[in-house]
Structure 1
């Protein structure tokens, strides 16, 4: 299947690697053949896909660097002929008061302002993902039945979220005026939402948080944004975008968007996230399956933790049995490490250690990787020199199976720390072993 005009329709910029696959998964479910690139490609050669997702590692870097990377991604997507652009961030709005969601959105709007009238002055910000328990009501972000700042995200080691009011959070990041499209407006449908957009534009609002408590709301918002040059949000709001292209006659109906090749080889799981969900997934795995925990303090002392982990893994890989290698810890344990090493150094140490282990596992015949944590996933795919991914079927909400299109094929499941059922690791391996076709 190809698009009717032969070029990609939607160009997406994601601020981390698991967020990119989360978004790509949503687009594939909507019937768009989707390719994800790891970073900005060096070549402008045309990529055959309906949607392109550029995965950056820009969520926690300085805002100026995040802006530069995002604008470089935008330039590449423009060269690919994309008609609409999407800036994707986490469904828990992970950021700090100094960025990066607001600054990047401002920069993208500025860059696109010359292309479509009105683009400079308005877009939405909607991280809602009801399927994974993220909803927005009166501007407040909930995780299941709990406000964001009481959900455990207040303990995030890099982006602690201590305010659930997204209007306030975003306003602290930008000099642009931030508004709100309330749920009672969204419930009235597409026309009412578009009227609200016009009213907000009229009073100088440039970015609007939009309430959403169900998938139906996301379809309404997606259709209401059909003529936007830039949309921002979590992957949920992308539910309504494929239908816009289909109604415009630009996207054909298809049943093969999620097809992937089968990849042979050994399997392993790597977990660097400290989230509650990943902590539970690690505990569930350890009840019946082999696991090796990396102690960041031991790594900092110079202990040969990489060699120890690979030696542990080898005895199970020899029996073709998957193994988990993890740094996941409780919030108190994470804080203790950060106090000793510093927040940035602790994060970098975990990522670089797991990246080295990933390279060692590949040398030992591992071709199927399940990775937990956005920052960890970014480090691992870079260590494995992955350039592009074709997106396959959904494993759990927000997490698809993927396969590289590089010379040495790999099957990957890249999971945001907060996503996935308690048995996610087992389920993902089953998909990568035979269901990702």
Structure 2
């Protein structure tokens, strides 16, 4: 368990440090923090000894790949990230999980939260997966995806983390050693959030799910929780926290520079930088997510006539061979590969086809083969001059950044809400998309010849 790091100097203190359980979730939360005025650095994996964050950061985000790994590994990696963040001045820790609360009966949300709460001596942890801009809302502790309950959505059939229960306290209690409760919407909107949290803590409840239907509810929660040692949730609540922290950070910078306090009520910090140019260069798309939205996006690319190559794990189980064949196909495209004709390599499958693969190979084995192949393909594409990689799916994106050895990058313009370009020190630009994010044409437009950045919707 992390020890107590030396106290940072005031200049080195960072208001918030975030631990995300997958790569695309990390980009989503990083851009939510950035939108609210926090200078944010994103790292893929916990930085090694001697690695320092860029100067002047208000927020540090560490992207892990712990959503579906063995529970002990998820806990160990999360505690390692916590230790690094605390050593670099993080005064508040945010544990970022998916807005659909992706997990299994064993975890890993509960075990990681238990470990982080113990390490930080947090008696009560408030949280919510609500993210209204993405159609995720919580009411009386039940999670909705659009207009339906979580367990009635497409998430019920997710290949790795099928969600068959919509009542979040019950889901978390099945994974944790502690009790969970709810802060009803009426108390959030009626000024009783703090009282309700104190009441739950007095009853021995450790985790409190805060109802939220609108961004205004998340802003209320963010103001109330700005001083809590540990908070958890999706990017929505992180944005609420950042709204409170961003004001303090901006005022502090102005004071340090001897400038007048900025008028923080004027800028619309919810808007991404639409005028910031997207990166240029040859592009390619890698898709591994089997979510309904990614399947639509893959279909849109194929329907538009983009070159497309499907990885078939039933035909070949050696990831090196799968990757070599895909790269040979890419080489055969010649001049069609760069620019407007950016190609697609995908392993995304419809539910019935996915079931057949998993029955034949096993879920873990099929996922490992395809993720390894996609990582190798990403490395081969970069060696061939691709400078823009678009990746669809959290597990796929984790495999891509691991294969490329990318340590992190700066958050750039958003191609869709919560889907920013990440500019790395090597000149490579990455767009890492959660399976459910973006409109039907996101993969198509993000990999097109560059033009002005445009938001295409959640």
Q: Same fold (TM over 0.5)?
A: yes
2:299 corresponding residue in structure 1 = 283
The 5-angstrom pairing of residues 94-243 of structure 1 reads 94-113=102-121, 119=122, 121-188=123-190, 191-243=191-243
Could you give the per-residue CA deviations for residues 164-215 of structure 1, whole angstroms, max 9, x where no partner exists?
1111101111111111011111122xx4111111111111111011111111
Task: Confirm or deny: 8 A CA contact 1:11 1:85 kept in the other structure.
Answer: yes
CA contact (8 A) 2:93 2:231 kept: yes
Structure 1 residues 16 and 6: CA distance shift in structure 2, 3 A: same
Q: Would the alpha carbon gap of residues 50 and 316 (structure 1) be closer, same or farther in structure 2, given more than 3 Å must change?
A: farther
Q: Is the 8 A contact 1:260 1:402 kept in 2?
A: no
Q: Distance between the aligned counterparts of 1:354 and 1:376, measured in 2?
A: 7
SS in 1 for 2:219: helix
Query: Is it true that 1:367 corresponds to 2:381 in the alignment?
Result: no
2:431 is matched with which residue? 413
Of the three residues 43, 47, 54, the one matched with 1:41 is 47
Return 5+ residue gaps in structure 1 as ranges: 114-118
Mapped to 1, the partners of 2:98 and 2:320 lie a distance apart of 34
Q: Do structure 1's residue 403 and structure 2's residue 423 form an aligned pair? A: yes
8 Å CA contact retained: 1:179, 1:208: yes
Out of 279, 284, 300, the residue aligned to residue 268 of structure 1 is 284
What is the Cα deviation at residue 308 of structure 1? 2.5
Which digits, 9 at most, give the CA deviation of each residue in 1:305-324, with x for residues without a partner?
32222122224452323101
1:52 aligned counterpart, secondary structure:
strand
The normalised TM-score by structure 2 is: 0.88
TM-score (norm 1): 0.92
For residue 68 of structure 2, give the secondary structure of its aligned residue in structure 1. coil
Unaligned runs of 5+ in 2: 1-8, 255-261
Name the CA distance, whole Å, in 2 between partners of 1:426 and 1:228. Answer: 41
2:98 corresponds in structure 1 to: 90
**Equivalent pairs, count:** 424
Alpha-carbon spacing, 1:393–1:208, altered in 2? closer, same or farther (3 Å)? same
Tell me the residue number matched to 2:3: none
Aligned position for 1:116:
none
Change (3 A) 1:43 1:434: farther
Between the aligned partners of 1:284 and 1:28, the Cα distance in structure 2 is 30
Pairwise CA RMSD of aligned residues?
A: 2.3
1:208 alignment partner, SS class: strand
Deviation per residue, 1:196-240 (Å, 9 max, x gap) = 111111111110111111111111111110110111000110112
Aligned-partner Cα distance in 2 for 1:125–1:315:
50
CA distance in 2, matches of 1:165, 1:370: 34
Matched residues in 2 for 1:246 and 1:227: separation? 13
| Match for residue 311 of structure 2 among 271, 287, 294 | 294
